[in-house]
């Protein structure tokens, strides 16, 4: 589950358009009514989704999107009736990436900015602007961190950043893991070039010239 700050701009208001994700499909919908415990949105079908199905309302903007995780309270019985959803007051935020991230199988060391203890972390992917790591460190959203990065053929770097999102997921063996999306702050040019060289080497391995 991704955790993020509430976005006051994404209010559940009558007449507002958004995306509804249900049964792994996206639909553009409009909020028709807002009650104390439920909201009703437009929906193109007349016989699905059924009551109890999980759903997500997404409000997109240039920087990312705010979303509400909810549930279908009442599905449509005829076309044009719409879908009734359980009203949620807590939203979460996901930001768009502005850099390509290359997958890695490296391990890094990471610590909270004002603490001495360091944790091992699997470096899932990396870009000049940030990284996705998996670690048992007790970080939370907005935690400021220092990441010690040693890339093959490159000098060791210590990069400052802050946690932008937190996600819980199972690894291929079915073990629950916690992942942290870190956005780098004030990356020196030399570090950016070092990361870029490594990323190009990964891309050449992934997509060798024919």
Residues 18-65 have pLDDT tens digits of: 999 888 788 889 999 999 999 999 998 888 898 999 999 988 876 677
- Classify each residue of 86-108 as buried b or exposed e, where b means 16 or more C-beta atoms within 10 Å of its C-beta: eebeebbbbeebebebbebebeb
Distance CA 25, CA 184 (A): 33
The sign one gets for the Cα dihedral 133, 198, 200, 163 is: positive
Distance CA 95, CA 164 (A): 8
DSSP label at 191? H
pLDDT of residue 63: 67
Q: Read off the pLDDT of residues 148-185 as tens digits, 9 standing for 90 and up.
A: 999 998 999 999 999 988 888 876 677 888 999 999 99
Question: pTM of the predicted model, to two decimals?
Answer: 0.55
Q: Which of 192, 200, 121 is nearest to 163 (CA)?
A: 121
Separation in Å, CA 164 to CA 81, 139, 161 = 38, 11, 9
Distance CA 140, CA 153 (A): 32
3-state secondary structure of 79: coil
């Amino acid at each position: 589950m991704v955790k993020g700050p509430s976005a006051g701009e994404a209010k559940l208001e009558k007449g507002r358009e958004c995306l509804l994700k249900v049964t792994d499909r996206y639909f553009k919908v409009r909020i028709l009514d807002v009650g104390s415990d439920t909201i009703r949105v437009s929906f193109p079908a007349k016989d699905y989704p059924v009551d109890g199905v999980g759903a997500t309302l997404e409000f997109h903007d240039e920087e990312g999107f705010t979303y509400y995780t909810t549930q279908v309270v009442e599905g449509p019985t005829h076309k044009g009736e719409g879908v009734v959803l359980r009203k949620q007051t807590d939203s979460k935020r996901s930001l768009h990436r502005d850099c390509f991230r290359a997958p890695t199988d490296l391990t890094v060391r990471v610590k909270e900015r004002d603490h001495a203890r360091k944790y091992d972390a699997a470096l899932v992917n990396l870009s000049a602007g940030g990284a996705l790591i998996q670690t048992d460190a007790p970080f939370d959203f907005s935690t400021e961190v220092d990441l010690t990065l040693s890339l093959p053929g490159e000098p060791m770097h210590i990069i400052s950043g802050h946690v932008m999102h937190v996600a819980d997921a199972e690894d291929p063996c079915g073990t629950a893991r916690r992942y942290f999306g870190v956005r780098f702050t004030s990356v020196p040019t030399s570090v950016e070039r070092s990361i870029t060289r490594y990323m190009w080497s990964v891309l050449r391995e992934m997509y060798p010239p024919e």
